[in-house]
Amino acid sequence: MQIHVVGLGVSENAELTENARYLIHNLTPSDRLVGSERQIEMLSQYHSGTSFILPKLSELKEVVSAWHESGVNRVVLLGSGDPLFYGIGRWVQRHFAYLDVSFYPNVSSIQVACHRIGLSLQDVHTVSLHGRPLQILRKHLHTNKVLVLLTDSNSHPAAIAKECVRANLGDSRITVCERLGYSDERVQHFTSKELQFSSLTFDLLNVVIVEVSCQQALVPSTPGFRDDLFVTDKGEGKGMITKREVRLSILSYLGAEEGETIWDIGAGCGSVSVELAYWNSNTQVYAIEHHPDRIACLEQNREKFGLMQNLTLIQGKAPEVLDQLPRPDRIFIGGSGGELPVLLQFVWSLLPEGGVLLLSSVTDSTQLEAMTFLNVREKASDAKCESITIQVSRSEVLAGSTLRKPSLPVTLWQFQKSRVLES
């Protein structure tokens, strides 16, 4: 069976490429044309035959599979704008790559919105809020950034403006582009402060452009968040978090890559998990923590930094709760609840070749257990090993004078799994 995904562009009436027009014109009664009511109406000048209303994607998969089994030769799926740019195209490729799939490009609403106010596409960052929590916007609100947002009823312009104000970026310029390509198209400009409490209503068919102000954002655009940005079990910046200087080293030695799965075992209130997920949007991070108060803080931090899509919280003790998780590519162990020897042996067996296990130790017992594990790896010749000790002293004022107060030294142990050489 062939699947054809046709982009309709941004207009009241579809403006199809020559190949797409030929495809639509030559549809037969045995073919299937699928789209939303609006999309089918856009196609009226090219097609007047039978069509099928687009169901939910979970249902569409079953429908197309049933057509395939019944011998249907050709299915045409309609997509707004460009189907391979935040459209239905990627979903089709993911679920039906085993079939003969063809794509027909067109102009996207993002392109049209940028052209309306003269923005170069290479200078903007596109974020889809459609069907996603509004809070994910928080990890994109950085000083002087230009965002083009695909929205839905939950991510309406006033809600976006409130997120900007919350991030200390109330002077940001917001452009709302409604019904692009239609005769009643409207483009309006606001500041976030003006728009946040506005009673204006906007058509659901809109694209929002945020030109972020030069104000100092709540969250910096570089790794190493201040400790006081985190919610903890003992007040902001205190309690069970890995402090800034050590956290930066952990991010470096762990070395997350695109699309990987990472476990943070003994996550505490989540400073390491948060920064891993924040700076690696396409990496799935699993934070494992058994203490209920710390899990509660972790949940607040996940929402605060907008990480609902790629940071998953697991309450429970390792290794008992690890069987339910996807296999990891990298593992950080910041706490083990007294089960470190068993835990090290268990997680090492799960890592693929090239996978990284990073362990932090402070106490003498943990140092000894890490050294024992190092000896085992050296005898097995199945790892590249490295360790560093970090000693941080911070300035404090005491009796009107500044002094350096040292923190406990932390040792990081990095083990990268390699192939065992046969003797």
CA 114 to chain centre: 23
Exposed, middle or buried by CB within 10 Å (0-12, 13-18, 19+), for 171? Answer: middle
* pLDDT at position 419: 72
Q: Record the tokens describing residue 120, joined without a space.
A: 């170069």
Residue 77 lies in a domain: yes
Please indicate, yes or no, whether residues 126 and 95 belong to a single structural domain of this protein: no
Listed residues 107, 138, 171: the one ending a domain? 107
Please indicate, yes or no, whether residues 96 and 129 belong to a single structural domain of this protein: no
Q: What does DSSP say about strands 410-417 and 383-390: parallel, antiparallel, or unpaired?
A: antiparallel
Please indicate, yes or no, whether residues 274 and 167 belong to a single structural domain of this protein: no
Residue 220 lies in a domain: no
CA 303 to chain centre: 13
Residues 343 and 328: beta-carbon distance below 8 Å: no
Residue 217 lies in a domain: no
Looking at the 3D structure of the chain, how many domains does it have? 3
> What average pLDDT values come out for the chain (423 residues) when binned by 10 residues?
95 92 93 94 89 92 92 94 94 92 96 97 96 95 97 95 97 97 96 95 96 94 94 78 95 96 96 97 96 95 96 95 95 90 95 97 94 96 96 88 90 90 50
For residue 288, report the phi and psi dihedrals to the nearest 5 degrees: -105, 120
Please indicate, yes or no, whether residues 92 and 161 belong to a single structural domain of this protein: no
Residue 300 lies in a domain: yes
Residue 360 lies in a domain: yes
Q: Is 210 left (phi over 0), alpha (psi -120 to 50) or beta?
A: beta
Residue 259 lies in a domain: yes
Q: Which residue in this structure is represented by tokens 């062939």?
A: 2
Q: Record the tokens describing residue 256, joined without a space.
A: 């997350």
Q: What does DSSP say about strands 383-390 and 356-361: parallel, antiparallel, or unpaired?
A: unpaired
Listed residues 107, 126, 144: the one ending a domain? 107
Please indicate, yes or no, whether residues 276 and 160 belong to a single structural domain of this protein: no
Q: Which residue in this structure is represented by tokens 């609403």?
A: 109
Q: Which residue in this structure is represented by tokens 């740019």?
A: 85
Please indicate, yes or no, whether residues 98 and 115 belong to a single structural domain of this protein: no
pLDDT digits (tens, 9 = 90+) for 95-121: 998 889 999 999 999 999 999 999 999
Please indicate, yes or no, whether residues 103 and 114 belong to a single structural domain of this protein: no
Answer whether 0.75 is exceeded by the pTM. yes
Range of the domain at 304: 227-417
* pLDDT at position 77: 96
Please indicate, yes or no, whether residues 201 and 240 belong to a single structural domain of this protein: no
CATH of the domain at 36: 3.40.1010.10
Please indicate, yes or no, whether residues 237 and 384 belong to a single structural domain of this protein: yes
Q: Helix or strand or coil: residue 383?
A: strand
CATH of the domain at 326: 3.40.50.150
Please indicate, yes or no, whether residues 238 and 375 belong to a single structural domain of this protein: yes
Which ranges constitute the DSSP H helices of 305-363? 340-350
Residue 422 lies in a domain: no
CATH of the domain at 124: 3.30.950.10
Write the DSSP symbol of residue 133: -
Please indicate, yes or no, whether residues 256 and 326 belong to a single structural domain of this protein: yes
* pLDDT at position 338: 81
Residue 172 lies in a domain: yes
